[in-house]
Chains A and B, each alone.
Chain A
Amino acid sequence: MPSPSDSPAILVTGATGLVGASVLREALERDAGLRALALVRTWESGSALRRSLGDIGRRVCPVLGDVRTPALGLDASLRRQLRGRIGHLVHCAADICFGRTLEQARSVNTAGTAHALELAAELGPQCRFVHVSTAFVAGRSVGSIPEGRSTGVHGFVNAYEQSKHEAEELVRASSRPFVILRPSTIVWDGRSGAVTQVNVVHRALWMYFGGLVPMLPGDERTPLDAVPADWVARAVCRLGLDPQFAGRTFHLCAGGAAPSLRALFDVTDEVLRTDPQFRRRGVCRPEVVDLATYRLFERSVLEIGEPKLVRIVRGLATFIEQMTLPKTFETRGVEAVLAEPAPPVLAYWPRMLAHLVSTHWAGAREMQVAA
């Protein structure tokens, strides 16, 4: 726990998640004097987090809480103790499952942000709010997506997007000094050379590997934005912890350098074909079709009721419409500040695939069972 004599600490929510854990590590490594409080749901996860950080984990103090409850579940005495001692509340916690109802998504993503903002206010005027959002608050918007405020007028593909948009609105409406950081899809961790958290992209690739994705809606020219976790962590620390960027919103995205779906398919096919099992199955790359054709296929699968295919189309249904909404996230703000732009996706995509193949998509299989 930080003492009154310490320099201000940071409080990180979602500290055991993909972004939170990476940000925590990066922040502690950048500032040898920094101390951090990590909001965790169980003591076991807090201990595991400290162990995973090695020596720097000794500067981490896990605090038990839950973003779904007021003041993040921190009791009044702890809050009093922390008043004036937290320099940044880095809010990374989120429910990233696209299949949630709006009510479920809001309970973590929107209400959780409201609770975090209330706590930040209680912790004192020195406490700045670093809000880790998502580039997909852009929802159904297409074209060039500015780094500023998202209006939400075009609607959203899923409850995750909407609840994160609503969370941003709360942040903007608060009196806290804030920075909003919007990563795109995180698919890889360059630091560990591994996929540290399996998401819908990996799961879709696993279905492709299994020959179970005959088609996707959209256009092969559609850019597919992705970023690695370690770069996001560096960007969050650089932009979020520097007071000069208060009030700004940044896209942590590949932006104009995002490859097209066709380019990604080309590389994916090339890498997967090096696997003898994949070649033996003679899997064709998924066809890219108009949304009406895809919907017809989707409806047919639901009507015939083949269990595995039904699970797959239902899983894809939570985000697949984004493929038909081509967008390029503007990154001028980030590029003007960071010396290091997001790494080119195609530079690490083959390594990511090789990792997935070598680990037999373990995480994606678990997601499939859970779906």
Chain B
Amino acid sequence: MSAGLSRIAYAFPRGRATLAELAARGQLSTAPDTLGRFGFEQVRVAIDETPYGLALDAARTVLERVDPESIDLLLWAGMPSAAAFQAPGARGRSVLGTLDRFKFPGTRLQSELGLLRASTFSVGELACASLFGALRVARSLIASEGLRRVLCVASEFFPEEAGREALFNCTSDAACALLLDAGAERNRIVAQAQVTKGYYWDCEGSREEIVASYFPTARHVVTEVLEQAGWAPRDVTWVVPHNVSLRSWEVLLGLLRLPRARLFERNIARNGHTLVGDNFINLADAIESGDIRPGDRLLLFSYGFGAHWSALAMEA
């Protein structure tokens, strides 16, 4: 049974910060002009929003004119536990009691959205590849259990005290919601591949090895997904990226022997790299702008610290 993304929605917080502003606040570890050369201009920063609040906004948007009781499964792929309910200023100050630890954003979302038939659980430890993991589980359950409609929601804020940079990438806060429908013809998932290398679980301790392993492993997982899809690299109409540095995409496109013109790159500068959902936010924007048209062959790739390399082949 094939499945496709019938709807995509996302929500950003109200705040924005330029590289110069982030540097002035001491939230970058790399010089802003270097990050500028890498394609970044600004990031989205939560002020008083909460990850859960943004997730609720995105999910409500994606479910407009959708019967909530048609949802068979809700997969939460964002911040775990009650941390998702806290605004940036509050985080780190409150101590969670025993029962607070079982206040889950996924089940609260199920309740508030009225998804009365939807069983709910969380997909975790995939970082920026979380929604890829959620889609993988969703597709699998559509195929094995006959589910018809799955809602995948993710929301992540970068910890305020951690700055706004992860290994030379400028990070944003955001939420994203996807509706995966069995038999949907639009944005049909043709193939999916993931490689996990737990050796790189310690991101700080392995930073140089991660930089080095990123490219060949990315090429490997992309090659695998294209083979599964039966496509040659030249068949790819658009590469829909996660918003890591444009420079790293230029290098990766060189490895893949794909021209830069195929990369939907405009959101890297204006959105920065969200910890969830870059590829799908970009996909929604590219469809909205008319850049991506029905029938286009799409390659989505994301890397999640931990370490996961994930790729999707989709037909728009």
Q: Is the CB of B208 within 8 A of A306?
A: yes
What sequence of 0s and 1s flags, for each residue 107-120 of chain A, a beta carbon within 8 Å of any chain B beta carbon?
00000000000000
- State A296–B249 Cα separation when bound (angstroms): 11
- Say yes or no: is A179 at the interface (Cβ < 8 Å to chain B): no
- Complex partner residue of B213 from A211, A290, A304, CB under 8 angstroms: A211
Q: Is the CB of B30 within 8 A of A293?
A: no
User: Would you give the shortest CB distance from B245 to chain A, in whole angstroms?
Assistant: 8
Contacts of B251 in A (CB 8 A): 293, 296-297, 300
- Say yes or no: is A289 at the interface (Cβ < 8 Å to chain B): yes
- State A308–B254 Cα separation when bound (angstroms): 23
Contacts of A309 in B (CB 8 A): 208, 211-212
Q: Is the CB of A300 within 8 A of B255?
A: no
Q: Is the CB of B220 within 8 A of A284?
A: yes
What sequence of 0s and 1s flags, for each residue 280-312 of chain A, a beta carbon within 8 Å of any chain B beta carbon?
111111110110110011001101101011000
What sequence of 0s and 1s flags, for each residue 199-223 of chain A, a beta carbon within 8 Å of any chain B beta carbon?
0000000000011111100000000
Contacts of A296 in B (CB 8 A): 247, 250-251, 254
User: Would you give the shortest CB distance from A186 to chain B, in whole angstroms?
Assistant: 28
Contacts of B30 in A (CB 8 A): 304
- Complex partner residue of B212 from A214, A280, A285, A289, CB under 8 angstroms: A214
What sequence of 0s and 1s flags, for each residue 212-240 of chain B, a beta carbon within 8 Å of any chain A beta carbon?
11111101100000000000000000000
Q: Is the CB of A300 within 8 A of B248?
A: yes
Q: A211-B212, A281-B199 are in contact. List 16 more A-B contacts (CB 8 A).
A: A213-B212, A214-B214, A214-B215, A215-B216, A282-B199, A284-B219, A287-B219, A293-B250, A293-B251, A293-B255, A300-B38, A301-B211, A303-B37, A304-B34, A304-B168, A308-B208
Instruction: Considering the complex, give the chain B residue whose CB is closest to the CB of A281.
Output: B199
Of the candidates B195, B199, B209, B251, the one having the most CB atoms from chain A within 10 angstroms of its own CB is B251
Which residues of B line the A interface, CB within 8 A? Answer: 30, 34, 37-38, 168, 195, 197, 199, 207-209, 211-217, 219-220, 247-248, 250-251, 254-255
- State A290–B77 Cα separation when bound (angstroms): 38
User: Would you give the shortest CB distance from A259 to chain B, in whole angstroms?
Assistant: 21
Contacts of A280 in B (CB 8 A): 199
Contacts of B248 in A (CB 8 A): 300
Contacts of B209 in A (CB 8 A): 210-212, 281
Contacts of A285 in B (CB 8 A): 216
User: Would you give the shortest CB distance from B247 to chain A, in whole angstroms?
Assistant: 5
Of the candidates B207, B211, B212, the one having the most CB atoms from chain A within 10 angstroms of its own CB is B212
- State A283–B215 Cα separation when bound (angstroms): 11
Contacts of A300 in B (CB 8 A): 38, 247-248, 251
- Complex partner residue of A303 from B34, B197, B250, CB under 8 angstroms: B34
| 4 tightest Cβ-Cβ pairs between the two chains A and B | A293-B254, A284-B216, A282-B197, A214-B215
- State A56–B244 Cα separation when bound (angstroms): 64
User: Would you give the shortest CB distance from A341 to chain B, in whole angstroms?
Assistant: 35
Q: Is the CB of A287 within 8 A of B213?
A: no
Contacts of A215 in B (CB 8 A): 215-216, 255
Contacts of A297 in B (CB 8 A): 215, 251
- Complex partner residue of B215 from A210, A282, A287, CB under 8 angstroms: A287
- State A296–B213 Cα separation when bound (angstroms): 16
Contacts of B37 in A (CB 8 A): 303
- State A210–B206 Cα separation when bound (angstroms): 11
Q: What are 12 A-to-B residue pairs whose CB atoms are below 8 Å?
A: A281-B197, A281-B199, A282-B199, A283-B213, A289-B254, A290-B254, A293-B255, A297-B215, A304-B34, A306-B211, A308-B208, A309-B211
Q: Is the CB of A286 within 8 A of B208?
A: no
- State A215–B252 Cα separation when bound (angstroms): 11
- State A293–B250 Cα separation when bound (angstroms): 8
Instruction: Considering the complex, give the chain B residue whose CB is closest to the CB of A298.
Output: B251
User: Would you give the shortest CB distance from A293 to chain B, in whole angstroms?
Assistant: 3
- State A53–B13 Cα separation when bound (angstroms): 76
Of the candidates A214, A285, A289, A306, the one having the most CB atoms from chain B within 10 angstroms of its own CB is A214
Q: Is the CB of A282 within 8 A of B219?
A: no
User: Would you give the shortest CB distance from B309 to chain A, in whole angstroms?
Assistant: 10
User: Would you give the shortest CB distance from B254 to chain A, in whole angstroms?
Assistant: 3
Contacts of B199 in A (CB 8 A): 280-282
Contacts of A283 in B (CB 8 A): 213
- State A303–B199 Cα separation when bound (angstroms): 26
User: Would you give the shortest CB distance from A199 to chain B, in whole angstroms?
Assistant: 22
Contacts of B216 in A (CB 8 A): 214-215, 284-287
User: Would you give the shortest CB distance from A213 to chain B, in whole angstroms?
Assistant: 7
